Structures are given as C-alpha cells and as structure tokens.
Chain A
Amino acid sequence: MAVKKDYMDQKLAEKLRDRKYYAPDSNPEFLKEVEKIGQTPAHMCYQCGTCTGSCPSAPRSSYRIRLFMRKAVLGLEEEALTDPDLWLCTTCYSCTDRCPRDLAPTDTIMAMRNLAFRRDIVPRNFLQTVQLIYKSGHGVPNNDANRAARKRLGLDEEPETTHKYPEYLPGIQKILDHYRLKENADRILAEGE
C-alpha cells in the first residue's frame, strides 16, 4: 500500500515512516478478487463484530469471521488463505442476516475458499465429494441396504436420478471436466497420499 500523504516536515515524516501502515505481505488485488467472487463489498465492513458474535463456530474454535473480513480489507492473502480456520464456517448465514452493513461475510469466506482451492489449499473431504459426483452423479450415493429399504417401500431400487438413468452421467462429467475439477481433485488427493 503506497503512502500517498506525508508531513511537510521532513524530520517528522522520517520519524513516522516506520509507524505507518505498511505490510509487505499485503496484496490489494486480494480484496478485489474476494469482492468479485463473493459479490459483496467486504471493504464496507466497520469491524463491529456482530458476525463473530452470531457465529456458531466461534465459541468452539479460534475461527473469527470478523478477522477474515479485516484480512480481506488489508489484503492479507497468505494469512487468510493458509489459515485452517477458513474451513470452519458452516455457511449458516447468521452473520449475513445480522450484518448492520448489509454485507455477506459468509460469501466472503466462500470467495476465499475458492481462491484457496486455486492454490491447491483444500481439505480432502471436499475433493472426495467431487470424485463421488463424477462417478455417480451423487455426493451421497445409493447402497445395498438402502436399495432393500426402497424396495420395501414400493419405490424403485434406484431413484429417478442419474442412478436410474446413467446416460445423464457423461453430461455431468463434461461440466466437471470443463473446469478441470475432477482432474485437479484426483491430483491433489494423490499428492496428499
């Protein structure tokens, strides 16, 4: 962040230089990216803390949604994207409903997660869901016990989805391949092994 204003008095300016906000880690593009993906103007946040106070994850972890909002504004990309707390948001939208600035902190978190994923920073369970959907169309696929129960209920063993009509699977796979999602999921999971 370039310093635009300075004191006329050179000695005073010199004295204060190190005390002005300057973070070599800061990337102002980060805020722009987060706002673009999250579609909410995170820079309007005035740090009141209503979000953290509404958050079900806050009382049981070090996850602080207000902190992430600040990191977005300060462009602290590395800090935000590498923080394991990023993945503790349950996306309940309580903070969003209560934000006095009409922001969507939840969507700010989602945007940061999207950006983290672009750097291969992502918990394994997210990638496993991708693999399941690629294979079956379902994040939670059918199984034999369930098939038996469905039969008992007078339902077809396979629901009227991609399970019963696998001819729809190639279309789904094409969409996922368009974004190279399966390929990336496979690669990141393999690297983690």
Chain B
Amino acid sequence: MSGNNHQYAFFLGCIAPNRYPGIEAAAIATSKNVGIDLLPLKGASCCPAPGAFGSIDLNVWYAMAARNIVLAEQMGMDIALVCNGCYKSIWEVNHKLKHNAELREGVNEVLKEIDMEYKGTIDVWHLAELYYDPEIVGVKKLADSVKRPLTGAKVGVHYGCHLMKPRKERHFGNTESPMWMEELVAALGAEPVQYRNKMQCCGAGGGVRGYDITHALDITNEKLINMEEAGVDAVTEVCPFCQLQFDRGQLEIKEKFGVEHGIPVLHFNELLGLAQGMSPDELALDLHAIDVEPFLKKIL
C-alpha cells in the first residue's frame, strides 16, 4: 500500500458483493492503479435500500444509514462506494444529518441504544466521481492507467438516478444531458454513444421491481430499445442494481415480452478492469446473465 494513496472506507452494499463480486474485485484492483486504496468497512450492512426502507419508514432509513456512516467515522475515513442506491442512502443521509439538527438528535437517540453516535465528521463519495475529480484521479490519470484500450467498442452510458438526482441537493450540475461519464468511457479508448432519453430510469427503483416486475421491465425494455437503435456494443453504469435490472432483466424481458436484445452490461469498474488488463475471469464476467463474449471479441 503506497503512502501517497488516497484512502477510503469501502462501502460494499448488497448486490455488488453478493451477486456481481467481480465489481468488488475490480473496484479494489482498478482503484489501486490510480492511487486509491479501498479499505474494508467492517460490519457494514445494506445501505439500507432507499426504495424499500424509505418507502415504509424514513426514520428507520436515516438510522440504519447513520449506523453505516458511524462505522466509517470510527475509522476516521471518508466512504467510497460503487452503487447509486447506496449513494442515495449513505450520501444523502449524511448530508441531511449534517444540516438538520433535529433529525440528527432523533437519530442519535436511537444510535445511543447501540452505543454509537453520529458526529458528521466524514464525507461520502461515489468512485465514479473520484475518478472524474482531477484532484483525486482525473480523466488523464485514468487514461494513463489503461493498458488495453477498448478501441472500436461503442459504449452507451446509463447514469442511473440516485447519483445525480435530485439535482438541487447534489453537486453534479446538469442532469438532463450530462457528459462526464462519457469522458470517463472515452478515457478507456472506447467510443461513448448517445441514445434517446439517456437519463431515463432503469425501471427497478422505488421497490417497483419487487412490486410489479412487468411494469419495471417495460421501462427497462424501452431503454434497451433506445440503446440498440444507437448501435451500442455494451452499456456501462455505476449502479449494481441498474446492472441487475439490465442484465438479468434481459432474460426476463425475453421470457415476458419475447424480445431479445443481447446487450452486454458492464459496471464502469468492470470496464475499467478490462481496460487495465484484467482478464474476464478476474472479473467473473461469466456470472453475467447476458453473454459478454461478443463485447470481449471486439476489444481483446
């Protein structure tokens, strides 16, 4: 571990470690190559899922997220994470608790029962924003870390919802037609592709995937049709839940609607891993529901 590296407590969430462990492995390895050490955040739980928990009792959502934040406070380290859903819970609750004394008091009353106290001493970051931030990594350093440029690959970007929206609470600016993730994709040598209604939701959030899967998949299907129209070789995202919805969702769409897309779905860290020379095995790409092979043939 280099002494000059930036260090973060790595908040894993659920779907990355428990369904797509390649994302976890890739995040650790690829970040190290650009000067970021991700250290284990021991005892963290589900963020908890903002759609599921926020919908039934916001107070529980605040308290559960606060517990995860306190674990990082105890390490004296900012949190880095790889999932938009986790970002909504961990970043947003941290933000609310820092700025709302009444809320903070309420949460601390509950945390007291487990000998914890939220102090508001750390910040929360999505790895994607750290990669883009020139003070931490920046596009140039990211490009310099590439050993196997993804030349010739057309990649559609799915930003997802909970990283950048609601715009007024966040710090990403434009949420109608952002281009910063395209810059990250271009840094890997791939060609970022624009498609219709790029900022539309994947369809899974808010508990809708569990509540009415046909409805959720219909939204997903619309996005996949739009990407297909633009001729993408793969879609990349920064949210394992979106990944699950696009990846496994394509099997469900085939079964329910009889439509086949065959679009490989890769988390940005998996894409970065490939560009930095990691093998498909090191990324466990065989766990993906949609065969990544056609994309690999383009780039390997």
Residues of A with Cβ closer than 8 Å to B? 37, 56-57, 60-61, 87-94, 96-97, 102, 104, 106, 110-111, 113-114, 117, 122-123, 125-130, 133, 137-143, 146, 149-150, 152-155, 159-165, 167-168, 170-172, 174-176, 178-179, 181
Q: Which 6 A-B pairs have the closest CB atoms?
A: A125-B210, A168-B43, A92-B201, A159-B17, A160-B40, A91-B206
CA distance A74 to B101 in the complex (A): 31
Q: A133-B48, A171-B67 are in contact. Are A159 and B161 (CB under 8 A)?
A: no
Whose C-beta in chain A lies nearest to the C-beta of B281?
A: A152
Whose C-beta in chain B lies nearest to the C-beta of A153?
A: B25
B207-231 contact mask (Cβ, 8 Å, vs A): 1 or 0: 1101110011011001000000000
List 8 A-B residue pairs with CB atoms under 8 Å apart, sorted by A's residue number: A56-B219, A88-B208, A90-B205, A90-B219, A93-B165, A97-B167, A114-B55, A138-B18
Q: A133-B46, A146-B18 are in contact. Are A175 and B60 (CB under 8 A)?
A: yes
Contact A92 B210 (CB under 8 A): no
Contact A149 B161 (CB under 8 A): no
Contact A89 B208 (CB under 8 A): yes
Pick from A104, A106, A175: contact of B67, CB under 8 Å: A175
Interface size class of B (residues with CB under 8 A): 35 or more
Q: A129-B48, A160-B44 are in contact. List 8 more A-B contacts (CB 8 A).
A: A57-B215, A125-B210, A142-B17, A149-B21, A152-B284, A153-B21, A174-B113, A178-B63
Pick from B19, B43, B55, B204: contact of A113, CB under 8 Å: B55
Contact B215 A161 (CB under 8 A): no
| Chain B residues within an 8 Å CB radius of A150 | 17, 21
Contact B56 A178 (CB under 8 A): no
How close is A181's CB to chain B, nearest CB, in angstroms? Answer: 5
Contact B42 A165 (CB under 8 A): yes
B181-214 contact mask (Cβ, 8 Å, vs A): 1 or 0: 0000000000000000001110111111011100
| Chain B residues within an 8 Å CB radius of A128 | 210
Whose C-beta in chain B lies nearest to the C-beta of A142?
A: B18
CA distance A143 to B204 in the complex (A): 22
CA distance A114 to B54 in the complex (A): 8
CA distance A150 to B23 in the complex (A): 11
CA distance A142 to B43 in the complex (A): 15
Contact A160 B41 (CB under 8 A): yes
Q: Name, among A91, A110, A122, the residue most crowded by chain B CB atoms within 10 Å (CB to CB).
A: A91
Q: A162-B44, A181-B56 are in contact. Are A140 and B15 (CB under 8 A)?
A: yes
How close is A140's CB to chain B, nearest CB, in angstroms? Answer: 4
Q: Which of B1-29 contact A (CB under 8 A)?
A: 10, 12, 14-15, 17-19, 21-22, 24-25
| Chain B residues within an 8 Å CB radius of A97 | 165-168, 175-176
CA distance A127 to B57 in the complex (A): 11
B46-59 contact mask (Cβ, 8 Å, vs A): 1 or 0: 10111111111111
Whose C-beta in chain B lies nearest to the C-beta of A106?
A: B166
Contact A126 B56 (CB under 8 A): yes
| Chain A residues within an 8 Å CB radius of B14 | 138-141
Contact B25 A123 (CB under 8 A): no
Q: Which of B102-156 contact A (CB under 8 A)?
A: 110-111, 113-114, 116
| Chain B residues within an 8 Å CB radius of A88 | 208, 211-212, 215
Pick from A93, A163, A165: contact of B161, CB under 8 Å: A93
Q: A60-B219, A91-B206, A172-B64 are in contact. Are A139 and B49 (CB under 8 A)?
A: yes
CA distance A88 to B208 in the complex (A): 6
How close is B230's CB to chain A, nearest CB, in angstroms? Answer: 19
| Chain A residues within an 8 Å CB radius of B116 | 171
How close is B38's CB to chain A, nearest CB, in angstroms? Answer: 10
Contact A92 B161 (CB under 8 A): yes
Contact A178 B113 (CB under 8 A): yes
